[in-house]
Amino acid sequence: MSEPSILIVDDDVNTRELLREILERRGYKSITCENGEQALSELEHIPAPSVILLDLDMPVMNGYEFRVAQRERVEISSVPVVVMSAGRQIDRVTLGDVEYLPKPFTTEALLKRIRGASEQRLRSSPLVSRETADPFGAGSA
């Protein structure tokens, strides 16, 4: 099985590199992008990541705009997102179902949010369909 991948989207190069180092030391493959537009372009050429770490305040295409575009693209719409923001209220209506990680954060908080996002994806994507679990319909009347 391949290592889980994390797409890091943040305009601050120091934040991107710090996140990359933290995640790669823990066995994650990471891809970095400096804004939402670059991330969408990158996502056209790579397999969907396990989780997206998304800053909200970025030039070119911010995190809110990225989320709108992400939810419109079926191939990446189900990828869980951890939103990172420094001390600002977030608009959950626009962002949808995301994990929230206020900046600054600890490594433990980061990893907890990534696990939470991954678990959310597992809960929303059943591993087997009803037909697979009971191909003969024995449970139905």
CB neighbours of 31 closer than 8 A, spacing ≥ 6? Answer: 5, 6, 7, 8, 42, 46, 49
Tokens 């087997």: give the residue: 128
Tokens 């696990």: give the residue: 115
Q: What is the pLDDT of residues 97-119, one digit of tens each?
A: 899 999 999 999 999 999 999 88
Q: What does the angle CA 27 – CA 71 – CA 58 come to, to the nearest 5 degrees?
A: 70
Assigned domain for 139 exists: no
Beta pairing class for 51-55 and 81-86: parallel
Assigned domain for 134 exists: no
CATH of the domain at 30: 3.40.50.2300
Q: What is the pLDDT of residues 4-63, one digit of tens each?
A: 999 999 999 999 999 999 999 999 999 999 999 999 999 999 999 999 999 999 999 999
Full residue range of the structural domain in which residue 84 is found: 5-125
Assigned domain for 45 exists: yes
Q: Give the per-residue pLDDT at 133.
A: 33
Q: Against a cut of 0.95, is the pTM above it? A: no
Q: Give the per-residue pLDDT at 104.
A: 92
Counting the structural domains of the chain, the total is: 1
Q: What is the 3-state secondary structure (H, E, C) of 58-92?
A: CCCCCHHHHHHHHHHCCCCCCCCEEEEEECCCCCH
Q: What is the DSSP letter of 2?
A: P
Q: Give the per-residue pLDDT at 138.
A: 38
Q: Give the per-residue pLDDT at 137.
A: 37
Q: Give the per-residue pLDDT at 122.
A: 64
